[in-house]
Chain A
Amino acid sequence: MSENDNKLRYSVRGKKSRFFESDGVDELVSICMSIAQELWVVKEELALLKNLTLEKGLLTKKELENFKFTVKQKTELDNENKDFIDRVFFTLRESVESVDSNHDEPNPPPIP
């Protein structure tokens, strides 16, 4: 083994769990999560830039790479991240909330 071979495996060996009967839904969930993650990267990097700009007034590559959020900034960001996740997966929260309202809802007319 040479040091040049130092690449780790990103994928998990073996059979992958599947949960949905319809073709492609499991893959769509994976893709949605990756998109959500990448969107979060953009948001966090923007927050980083904003904070840095406010604090320093100008940017250098070194400053950008070494910047660390303060505990307060990170806490605020974590809260924003949680709200963001809640928005992306709103449909799931809605399905839980609908448990309460199911009983009182009048039935729609029969579908012809």
Chain B
Amino acid sequence: MTRYVQHGLKVKSKPDEIARQNFMLNMRSYVMLDMAMGMKKIYDNNIEPNFKKLNKRKPKNGDEIHKTIKKDTYFKFYSSIRCNAQEMVFRSVIPPIERSMIDLKKKAKKLSTSKKANGSLKIDKKLTIPKSVSALDVHLMPGCYHSEHSENDLTQGALYDNGVSVFSMGFFGEKLDDIGSSISLFIKKKYPKFKPVRILDLGCTVGHNTLPWNKVYPKAEIHAVDVGAPVLRYGHARAQSEGISVHFHQQNAEKTNFENNSFDLVFSSMFLHEVPKKGIKQIIREAKRLLKPGGLMLHMELPPNKMLDAYNSFYLDWDSYYNKEPYYKTFRDMIPEKVCSEAGFSKNKFVQFIIPSIGQFGEEEIIKSVNSQNGNVDDRTGRFTKGIHWYCFGSWK
């Protein structure tokens, strides 16, 4: 059973609202698991054989599959239902959030001075919100990360946290921190001598994957940046309610105001694919500037297209076309090793890992995976499915 948001900023949904959220969770499960399997079967049995008959070869890449499959009725229903489900997820959590807007602000104010943690929040009212955020409702979330409805508003943070709790069908864990928890534990076990003193999370949204770093490196000073003030206000209050000290800053990850060589670990999760190509390159350069010599840059992301077969490339790129994540495919077409080396990282310092989800496999499997990295991704990597694994890449400085 999936439990929705449980921490100090929990909003109270009425029974009919909970039923709508439950329906969306199961509807998402239906489209992402059952229908996705059905579409693959139709592809294997109909689409690919017909393509081979016409072209005397298999499709070379995801684009060729997309071009062919988009005419198929099942694909149309899959896509239409998936788009609707995505929008309905957010709509299902809006009414309880609307009722709680004033209360959320009061709770956040109280939590900011809580003695449970010593985190901080720095909002920069003059920051220009990049077009990649301001010009669209990323992944069909009305209002995106930055819209403000009143002074000191944090509702877009609440919308993200509550929406993703329904959207992720439990795959992100009860605190939505499976990615951060899995990767931080992996890094600690893989590099026992690496003991970061200062950690930075880029594009942190509500800090859900920032907080787990505190568990594995409790003495580290943790900072997190995002361009959206409402998600940062919410993230700050959320961290305080969990008793974890994190310093949240409204800054653009492409150009932060931190000093050179000031962090041991620069991390991001599910962030780069929402940034245009030019911005991604700048973020990697900025990470290099911020890292101390011997520091580690690590980005959790969807696996690059070059690591996947044509069908899985097509499948993952769906979001780029239909989910208001236009830079998703551009990012996945990039070659991580090349991006890192072009930013000045040594080629022989490049790393990439495929890490089992802690929620699905437990700590033991993560520890085992430390010595069994073979660089192979499969249709469980970065996909909401049983046996999910997380892909990440980066470089030592």
* Interface residues, chain A, with chain B CB atoms under 8 Å away: 1-3, 5-14, 16-17, 19-20, 26, 29-30, 33-34, 36-37, 40-41, 43-45, 48, 64-65, 67, 71, 74-75, 77-78, 81-82, 85-86, 89, 92-93, 95-96, 99-100
Q: Is the CB of B41 within 8 A of A99?
A: yes
* B27 lies within 8 A of A29 (CB): no
Q: Other than the known A33-B84, A36-B23, A78-B22, what 20 A-B pairs have Cβ atoms closer than 8 Å?
A: A5-B149, A6-B155, A10-B94, A13-B136, A13-B137, A17-B80, A17-B321, A17-B322, A19-B77, A20-B80, A26-B80, A44-B23, A45-B16, A45-B19, A48-B15, A78-B1, A81-B23, A92-B74, A95-B74, A99-B45
In the complex the two chains form, is A81's CB within 8 Å of B149's CB? Answer: no
Contact with A along B34-48 (1 / 0, CB 8 A): 110010011001100
Q: Is B310 an interface residue (CB 8 A)?
A: no
Q: Is the CB of A92 within 8 A of B38?
A: yes
Q: What CA separation (Å) do A10 and B88 show in the bound complex?
A: 9
Among B135-155, those with CB < 8 Å from A are 136-137, 140-143, 147-151, 155
User: What residues of chain A lie closer than 8 Å to B75, measured between beta carbons?
Assistant: 19
**Complex: A37 Cα to B29 Cα, angstroms:** 14
Instruction: Decide if B81 is an interface residue (CB 8 Å cutoff).
Output: yes
Distance A74 CA – B151 CA, assembled complex (angstroms): 39
Within 8 A of A (CB), among B307-323: 321-322
Contact B26 A67 (CB under 8 A): no
Cα-based distance from A10 to B131 in the complex (angstroms): 21
A1 to B29, CA, bound (A): 39
Q: With A67-B15, A86-B30, A99-B41 given, is the CB distance from A5 to B20 under 8 Å?
A: no
Q: What CA separation (Å) do A85 and B116 show in the bound complex?
A: 44
Q: Is B73 an interface residue (CB 8 A)?
A: yes
Quick check: A93 and B23 within 8 Å, CB to CB?
Answer: no
Bound complex: CA of A34 vs CA of B91, how far in Å?
Answer: 11
Q: Which residues of B contact A86 (CB under 8 A)?
A: 30, 34
Q: How far is the CA of A34 from the CA of B85 in the complex (A)?
A: 10
Q: Is the CB of B270 closer than 8 A to any CB of chain A?
A: no
Decide: A5 near B143, CB < 8 A? Known: A41-B20, A95-B74.
no
Q: Determine the chain A residues whose CB is within 8 A of the CB of B94 once the complex forms.
A: 8, 10
Chain B positions within 8 Å of A41 at CB level: 16, 19-20, 23
Which residues of A have CB within 8 Å of B147? 9
A3 and B147 CA atoms in complex are apart in Å by 15
**Quick check: B19 and A96 within 8 Å, CB to CB?**
no
Interface of A is mostly: helix
Contact residues, B79-101 vs A (CB, 8 A): 79-81, 83-85, 87-88, 91, 94, 97-98, 101
Most buried by A among B79, B147, B321: B79
Residues in A with CB closer than 8 Å to B143 are 8-9
Partner of B83, one of A2, A17, A36, A37: A17
* Chain B residues whose CB sits within 8 angstroms of the CB of A45 once the complex forms: 15-16, 19
The verdict on B10 contacting chain A, using a C-beta distance below 8 Å, is no
The 6 closest A-B pairs by CB, nearest first: A44-B19, A96-B38, A19-B76, A40-B23, A41-B19, A9-B142
Pick from B42, B140, B155: contact of A96, CB below 8 A.
Answer: B42
Docked CA distance A8–B149 (Å): 8
Q: How far is the CA of A64 from the CA of B347 in the complex (A)?
A: 62
| A71–B98 CB distance below 8 A | no
Q: Name the residue of chain B whose CB is nearest to the CB of A74.
A: B1
With a CB–CB cut-off of 8 A, which chain B residues contact A11? 142
Contact A33 B14, CB 8 Å, known A6-B149, A95-B73? no
Chain B's nearest CB lies how many Å from the CB of A51?
12
For residue B107, give the distance in angstroms from its CB to the closest CB of chain A: 15
Kindly provide the distance from the CB of B88 to the nearest chain A CB, expressed in whole angstroms: 7
- Nearest-CB distance from A82 to chain B (Å)? 6
Q: Is B24 in the interface zone, CB < 8 Å from A?
A: yes
Please tell me if B197 contacts chain A, counting CB pairs below 8 Å: no
Q: Could you list 18 A-B pairs, sorted by A, with CB under 8 Å?
A: A1-B149, A6-B102, A8-B142, A9-B142, A9-B143, A10-B91, A14-B137, A17-B322, A19-B79, A19-B80, A43-B19, A44-B23, A65-B15, A74-B1, A81-B26, A85-B27, A92-B77, A95-B38
Which B residue's beta carbon lies closest to that of A43? B19
Chain A residues within an 8 Å CB radius of B38: 92-93, 95-96
| Cα distance A1–B150 in the bound complex, in angstroms | 5
Asked if B175 CB lies within 8 Å of chain A CBs, one says no
Contact A92 B35 (CB under 8 A): yes
B150 touches A29 (CB 8 A): no
